[in-house]
Amino acid sequence: MITVRPVLMVGLAVLTLGGSAALAQHQHGAPATSPAPPAPAGKKPPLRVTMEEMHHGDGVPRGWRFAWPEGDAQKGREVFAKLECYQCHQVSGAGFPDVKPDPQRQGPPLAGMGGMHPAEYFAESILNPNAVIITGPGFTGSDGLSIMPDFRDSLTLAETIDLVAYLRSLTGDHGTHHAHSTPAREQVAGDYRVRVAYAAPGGHASHHPGATSGHAQHGGASTTAPGHLMVFVTDTATGEAVPYLPVTATLAAGQTAARTVKLAPMVGDGGLHYGADVALPADVKKVTVAIGKPTIAIMGGRPPSATSVTFEWSQ
């Protein structure tokens, strides 16, 4: 059973670091002089460091943190079926066999979970389900431990990586509790990983203090209730949220003129994001996020950059 709880990072640092590059530098005394190949679209670029930087960085590169590797979601679905995870976890519309739920081993449904949690969260739930235990039906057994089995001895590393990729791919409808939220969209743009989500009116994230309402933006002319548009911006090198950025979103619809909304930094259940209470047109086709240079000085590291990214949209 995949439990719903805060992220705890798994100590599998051997899987990241760009170890082959660091080893080559150690063996030959200097990094390669040829230009680094670009990272595949949508993938986190590797960190490239010298041995000197490693020796003065407590054994890790500056800004490093563990990141779960990319996997094959289709192969992960096959692993999910092999383990018969559908016996405990319902995935609506996925085509798995119908089973009679067992109240003693029934975990939460997984449809839509992929957009709500990072890969490391799912990995730890599979490898170490008792790291943190949610108390309550569907999570805790009579012994006080998680009812989720421990799969570390029954899965290969490749299968685990692919299974996590499959769980992360489950971003569709996920029940009434989150029925008003559309799946998150995510892309890498320049130095940033940009994720966009929209909570429609009535959803759990549709109202945030300090946000600008759709009514105010139209001078009271709009009669459409606003939802909440959220843009999460993290640094591709560190994985940390980036504050102090000017961020706007341009909404391009089919029948109306494009409209640009200024987003304000705020903190919600998902952490720091840039948001605004705004009513998205029913026929919105694209949402373009523009990110300006930081409004504070950045000491050291790479120079700040401005960028933009466009998301194809359908509510």
3-class state of residue 235 by DSSP? strand
Q: Residue 39 has what pLDDT?
A: 54
53 φ/ψ angles, rounded to the nearest 5 degrees: -65, -35
Give the residue from 302, 306, 305 showing the smallest Cα distance to 289.
306
Per-residue tokens: 94: 């996925």
Which of 289, 217, 203 is CA-nearest to residue 252?
289
pLDDT of residue 217: 39
Tell me the average confidence (pLDDT) per consecutive run of 10 residues in the chain, 315 residues long. Answer: 47 40 43 53 70 76 81 93 89 82 77 81 90 77 85 92 92 46 66 86 44 37 69 83 92 85 86 89 88 80 79 75
Rounded to 5°, angle at Cα 83 from 161 and 93? 85
What is the reported pTM? 0.51
Structure confidence at residue 250 (pLDDT) = 94
Sign of the CA dihedral with 84 first, then 86, 92, and 97 last: positive
- Side-chain-side CA neighbours of 26 within 13 Å: the count stands at 9
Domains and CATH numbers, the chain: 17-55 (no CATH), 73-168 (1.10.760.10), 180-312 (2.60.40.2480)
pLDDT at res. 220 = 38
pLDDT recorded at residue 20: 41
At residue 40, the pLDDT reads 55
Pairwise CA distance, residues 114 & 183, whole Å: 9
Give the model's pLDDT for residue 288: 94
Residue 72 C-beta-side C-alpha neighbours within 13 Å: 7
The full 3-state SS of 171-209, as one line of letters, equals: CCCCCHHHCCECCCEEEEECCEEEEEEEECCCCCCCCCC
For residue 244, what is the DSSP state?
A: S
